[in-house]
């Protein structure tokens, strides 16, 4: 069914898709993987590889995989399976240091997320803490594009002032870049 859906997407929109979401399965928790890498390799990886191989052979699309949590144990396997983009980058999870991920995998994976911690700083910090976190996040330089772990209102408690501080700070960096 997944292959038939991909064929229908290609037929309907062709090359108008840049990125296609392929999986929304969370493989990580706050402190580590939710399953063993061996189990991923046996149960998910063969299917992921077949889907990604089809997309890369038949379209110019990039494949986007969502997985929260600490997923470093799977990144080499994701790359081997043909994954192009990982989202979110939950830097608050164990082993998910943004600069370390960028240094080790940045030439092979796009990390889409991690500008501001949406579990702590954005919903519970002050507007000044949101601005400071964005301005001082070293892996974001020199790019200014907005990178969030989740939607700004994900927790349901994010103050409007914090969302505005984030967007104003991002817009300010864009104007200065």
Tell me how far apart the alpha carbons of residues 142 and 120 are, in angstroms, rounded to a whole number.
24
Burial 60-88 (b: 16+ CB within 10 A, else e): ebbbbbbbbbbbbbbbebbeebbbbbbbb
**Overall pTM > 0.95:** no
pLDDT at 177: 42
Confidence of residue 162 (pLDDT cuts 50, 70, 90): confident
**Of residues 144 and 109, which shows the higher confidence score?**
109
Is there a contact between 124 and 117 (Cβ–Cβ < 8 Å)? no
Q: Which helix (H) or strand (E) holds 85?
A: strand 85-87
Confidence of residue 102 (pLDDT cuts 50, 70, 90): confident
| Residues shown for the chain | 177
pLDDT at 115: 63
Q: Indicate whether 167 pLDDT > 70.
A: yes
pLDDT at 58: 96
Burial level of 5, CB count in 10 A (0-12/13-18/19+)? exposed
Which among 98, 97, 157, 93 is positioned nearest to 125, based on CA atoms? 157
């Amino acid at each position: 069914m997944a292959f038939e859906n991909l064929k229908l997407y290609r037929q309907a929109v062709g090359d108008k898709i840049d990125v296609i979401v392929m999986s929304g399965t969370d493989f990580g928790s706050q402190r580590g993987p939710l399953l063993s890498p061996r189990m991923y390799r046996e149960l998910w990886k063969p299917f992921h590889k077949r889907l990604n191989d089809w997309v890369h052979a038949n379209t110019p699309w990039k494949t986007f995989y969502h997985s929260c949590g600490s997923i470093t144990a799977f990144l080499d396997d994701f790359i081997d399976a043909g994954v192009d983009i990982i989202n979110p980058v939950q830097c608050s999870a164990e082993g998910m240091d943004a600069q370390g991920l960028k240094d080790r995998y940045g030439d092979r994976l796009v990390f889409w997320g991690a500008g501001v911690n949406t579990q702590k700083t954005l919903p519970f910090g002050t507007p000044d803490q949101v601005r400071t976190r964005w301005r001082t996040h070293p892996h974001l330089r020199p790019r200014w594009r907005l990178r969030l772990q989740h939607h700004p209102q994900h927790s349901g408690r994010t103050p409007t002032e914090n969302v505005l501080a984030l967007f104003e700070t991002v817009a300010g960096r864009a104007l200065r870049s």
